[in-house]
Chains A and B, each alone.
Chain A
Amino acid sequence: MAEYKLTTPLSDEDIIKLKAGDKVLLSGVVYTARDAAHMRMVESLKKGEELPFDPKGQVIYYVGPSPARPGKPIGSAGPTTSYRMNPFAPILIEKGQKGMIGKGKMSDEVKEACVKYKACYFASIGGAAAVVGKAVKKAEVIAYPELGPEAVRRLEVEDMPLFVCYDAHGNDLYEIAKKEWANKL
């Protein structure tokens, strides 16, 4: 299993070399969006309106951070459960999104979209939110402020530790890991 340092926006070449189980330290801009923001973005697409950001090459972090204390860019900011974004991820991947960051399983449709359009689902450690939040250096709400923790934020991150979970070759880290460690007690 390899370890990579990547900076957004990500290219097809960046994605193709990644294999499920690889570790990635991600830097650059990532955008946050959860259920409510995804519903609105997909609605906008249907109406032919602009999205709050161009998804091409971008990574979306499924997170609703806790409020920042004065002087800090963000509060705690670990991943939320990703399956709730199953209906939306393939649509945005088709529009050029290159990565999702979250926790937990996603659907076969998401896996297929990762293969077809060269994208990657990165797993982060749920509930390690104070530590993960430290990778965030800057945060700014760019859309839907009324959604509070669910607003779309533009984050600048430095060396955010991630695991490649679904790669662009159809592999699934959760399945691989589970098989390897089953019936070992």
Chain B
Amino acid sequence: MSEVRNVSVKDVEEAIYKLALDAAYHIPEDVLEAEKKAYEKEKSETAKKVLETIFENIKVSSEEEFPLCQDTGLGIIFLEVGQDVHFTDGYIVDAINKGVERAYKDGYLRKSSCHPLTRANYGNNLPAIIHTFVVPGNKVKIIFDAKGGGSESMSKVQMLKPADGRDGIIQTVVDWMIQAGPNPCPPTIVGVGIGGDFERAAVMAKHATLRKVGQPSDDPVLAEMEQEILTKINNSGIGPAGLGGLTTALAVHIEMEPCHIATLPLAINTACHVNRHKEIEL
């Protein structure tokens, strides 16, 4: 057991503020690495041109602090709180929202949150979407994911039949990504959640998009499925920006949890080629 530790929510607010700005302008290194590798292997001239434009965009964005994409996303926060943490100086959720609001204002980032029915824009990009997990220890880990609407819309949860099994899962993911085609701004990182229940599958799928790009699952069965799905998606020919080529997805990442004997939940969440996420431990 660790000692109980006080963590000021003011520090959390500041951390969120910095992570949001960093994510908007600076691509994660592993994403850029994966894109460079894809460029080396790519055979389509058009695809190479598209990837070159993507590289130029990454450079301009970073040097001149223009957001990588005009859709700077909603703020998705994976918050891992050690059970021995005691938050002080205010309510943690308010602090997170304040950090997001300040970053989107000061950083000239687009405010994209709106009323679902009237579509009126709230003008502050709030609320942040927060997934909280209680973990051992007395640290706080924050992952900030700036999630755009185009790739998010190409997501789904489907309750498969247990008999669909491994092959049914692979087929469903491949069909879905091919049907999504150019919409989620390929090359994408495909997150897949298998098992748990309806909502756990979705959270796993999104969390999976944040893994270091191309790092295989620790589970050899899943690692093999990841490769098989990736090859099938890249054999679709969709290519970068949907203009044809060998690079439709950079990676497929699967997470899995036990499920009910009567269910086989499957979730797919897609991250676009600007997979903007940054993390810190407090």
Q: Give A residues with C-beta under 8 Å from B.
A: 35-36, 63-69, 75-78, 80-81, 83, 103-105, 123, 125-131, 133-134, 146-150, 161, 163, 173-174, 176-185
Q: B residues within 8 A CB of A36?
A: 119
Q: B residues within 8 A CB of A184?
A: 43, 235, 237, 246
CB-nearest residue of chain B relative to A1?
B46
Bound together, the chains give a CA A69 to CA B67 distance in angstroms of 11
A85 CB to nearest B CB, Å: 13
Asked if B20 lies at the interface with its beta carbon under 8 angstroms from chain A, I say no
Bound together, the chains give a CA A27 to CA B236 distance in angstroms of 34
Residue pairs across A and B with Cβ atoms less than 8 A apart, 28 shown, are: A65-B70, A65-B110, A66-B110, A75-B66, A75-B70, A76-B61, A76-B68, A81-B153, A103-B182, A104-B242, A105-B182, A105-B242, A126-B185, A127-B57, A127-B68, A129-B57, A129-B66, A129-B69, A130-B61, A149-B121, A174-B243, A176-B244, A177-B238, A177-B245, A180-B237, A184-B43, A184-B237, A185-B234
Q: A residues within 8 A CB of B77?
A: none
Q: B residues within 8 A CB of A185?
A: 231, 234-235, 246
Q: B residues within 8 A CB of A80?
A: 71, 149-150
Bound together, the chains give a CA A103 to CA B183 distance in angstroms of 7
Contact of A67 among B110, B183, B237, B244 (CB under 8 A): B110
CB-nearest residue of chain B relative to A125?
B241
- In contact, B182 and A133 (Cβ under 8 angstroms): no
Q: A residues within 8 A CB of B185?
A: 103, 126-127
CB-nearest residue of chain A relative to B24?
A66
Q: Which of A66, A69, A126, A177 has the most CB of B within 10 A?
A: A126
Q: A residues within 8 A CB of B236?
A: 178, 182
Residues in B67-118 with C-beta less than 8 Å from chain A: 67-72, 108-112
Bound together, the chains give a CA A147 to CA B241 distance in angstroms of 28
Q: B residues within 8 A CB of A77?
A: 70
Interface size on B (CB < 8 Å)?
52
Contact of A177 among B57, B237, B274 (CB under 8 A): B237
- In contact, B67 and A75 (Cβ under 8 angstroms): yes
CB-nearest residue of chain B relative to A75?
B108
Q: B residues within 8 A CB of A129?
A: 57, 66-71
Bound together, the chains give a CA A158 to CA B44 distance in angstroms of 27
Q: A residues within 8 A CB of B123?
A: 148
Bound together, the chains give a CA A148 to CA B70 distance in angstroms of 13
Q: Mark contacts of B10-35 with chain A using CB atoms, 8 A cut-off: 1 yes-contact digit, 0 otherwise.
A: 00000000000000000000000000
Q: B residues within 8 A CB of A183?
A: 235, 237
Q: Which of A77, A127, A134 has the most CB of B within 10 A?
A: A127
B200 CB to nearest A CB, Å: 28
- In contact, A147 and B121 (Cβ under 8 angstroms): yes
Further pairs besides A75-B66, A125-B54, A131-B56: 4, Cβ < 8 Å? A66-B66, A104-B181, A161-B53, A180-B237
- In contact, B110 and A128 (Cβ under 8 angstroms): no
CB-nearest residue of chain A relative to B63?
A130
- In contact, B110 and A64 (Cβ under 8 angstroms): yes
- In contact, A127 and B274 (Cβ under 8 angstroms): yes
- In contact, A126 and B241 (Cβ under 8 angstroms): yes
Bound together, the chains give a CA A185 to CA B234 distance in angstroms of 8
CB-nearest residue of chain A relative to B238?
A178
Instruction: Decide: A105 near B183, CB < 8 A? Known: A75-B67, A80-B71, A131-B53.
Output: yes
Q: A residues within 8 A CB of B66?
A: 66, 75-76, 129-130, 133
B58 CB to nearest A CB, Å: 8
Asked if B253 lies at the interface with its beta carbon under 8 angstroms from chain A, I say no
A46 CB to nearest B CB, Å: 18
- In contact, A149 and B112 (Cβ under 8 angstroms): yes
Q: B residues within 8 A CB of A174?
A: 181-182, 238, 242-243
Bound together, the chains give a CA A180 to CA B120 distance in angstroms of 43
Q: B residues within 8 A CB of A148?
A: 111, 121, 123
Asked if B64 lies at the interface with its beta carbon under 8 angstroms from chain A, I say yes
Q: A residues within 8 A CB of B112?
A: 64, 149
Instruction: Decide: A130 near B68, CB < 8 A? Known: A147-B121, A184-B237, A185-B246.
Output: yes
